[in-house]
Amino acid sequence: MIRVLHIVGKMDRAGAETMLMNLYRHIDRTQVQFDFITFTTDQGDYDDEILALGGRIYPILANNSIERMFKLTNFLKQHSEYRILHAHMLLNNAFHLLAAKKAGIPHRISHSHNTSNGKSGTIANLYEKFAIYLNQRLSTKKIACGKEAAEYLFNTSENVWLLNNAIDLKLYNEISLSNKNYWKTIRSDIQNLKIIQVGRLNEVKNHTFSLEIAKRLKEQDIDFTFFIVGQGPLEDLIRRKVQDYDLDKNVFLLGVREDVPNLMSDADLMLMPSLHEGFPVVLVESQAIGLKTIVSKNISAEVDLGVNLVDFKELNNIDAWVESIKTIKKPQLNLSQNIKILSMYGFDIKSNAIELQNLYKNMDKV
């Protein structure tokens, strides 16, 4: 059996981690097993499932990236069973690839999941250039979730495998057909416009913009319920704004949940006003389910998979967002056709898991 070591910060329900778990569930685990290096001893959302699937989790604690690199190098030297390291931490992949190189790991995969690191300033720009250079030089295989994510971390999409953030399309089709009125299991009085936003509660996801939209909808007497799904460092700020805007009867923070596809299937609309993204898994999920989404133009146009469910808007024109929401109509869907289109574009997790498994097996032969 091949054991592949994945480098992540913590296995929570975030985009890259969810993509990784989707692949992990569908590979043949009698042939390939996933193990994980994390940089915390806190329990991750997926930790119990990883252990149940036969994976191992190794926490490495350090005060900074340099110390972490040396500890990872020592770990790899002591665990000769790993010949493949797969890093998922964008610019910080550089340190993990360097550790793997020093430890003699022959196969070093750098995987890009985003189109920006969200930081600016002289020091941040210098670090970005340095990290991109090391990612280019030290990786033996480059993978990205989309073309723009590849061009960000590797300065090119040539010789980069574009591995789509795929899902179980058949399962999402079934969920879409069987979860109408699901929101009433959470709030029995919901009979109005149902809006949802899914993502970590951090600056990149731009929840404050969504709350400005919600404030305007209420001022214009639009009857709506807005579910915010996720957790993160800005939770207290978001709760304060909900109170300040007198939105406590309209906006509800649900935290991390396991029934996100069910919630999406009963929503009328999803918002994604992110400042930047790679290729969000949740946008693949929404299009498989048949949910209309208004998306920031800061997100790559490649997220529109051709099923007429993604509407791009500029972040500097909040009025356009409000008007689109006020005039939203549920699309006439041909879900089976949507599934065929998404499968054709390479978003079926079963096919992608087989391709990734074959990549690892071919590496192990060398």
Which domains can be identified in the chain, with CATH numbers?
2-166+348-365 (3.40.50.2000), 169-344 (3.40.50.2000)
**What is the residue-averaged pLDDT of the chain?**
94
3-state class of 10 per DSSP? coil
Nearest to 269 by CA among 205, 218, 213: 213
**What is the sign, positive or negative, of the torsion defined by CA atoms of 279, 282, 285, 289?**
negative
pLDDT of res. 338: 86
CA distances from 240 to 121, 211, 218, 237, 244 (A): 30, 11, 17, 5, 6
Q: Tell whether the model's pLDDT for residue 332 goes beyond 90.
A: no
CB within 8 Å of 155: residues ≥ 6 apart: 132, 136
pLDDT of res. 279: 87
pLDDT of res. 342: 93
266-321 pLDDT per residue, tens? 999 999 999 998 889 999 999 999 999 999 999 989 999 989 999 999 999 999 99
Task: Give the global pTM.
Answer: 0.87
Work out the average pLDDT over 45-64: 96
140-190 pLDDT per residue, tens? 999 999 999 999 999 999 999 999 999 999 899 889 888 778 998 898 888
- The token duo for 245 is 């805007």
pLDDT of res. 173: 86
- d(CA 115, CA 7) in angstroms, rounded, equals 19
184-242 pLDDT per residue, tens? 889 888 878 999 999 999 999 999 999 999 999 999 999 999 999 999 999 999 999 99
- d(CA 280, CA 291) in angstroms, rounded, equals 15
pLDDT of res. 275: 94
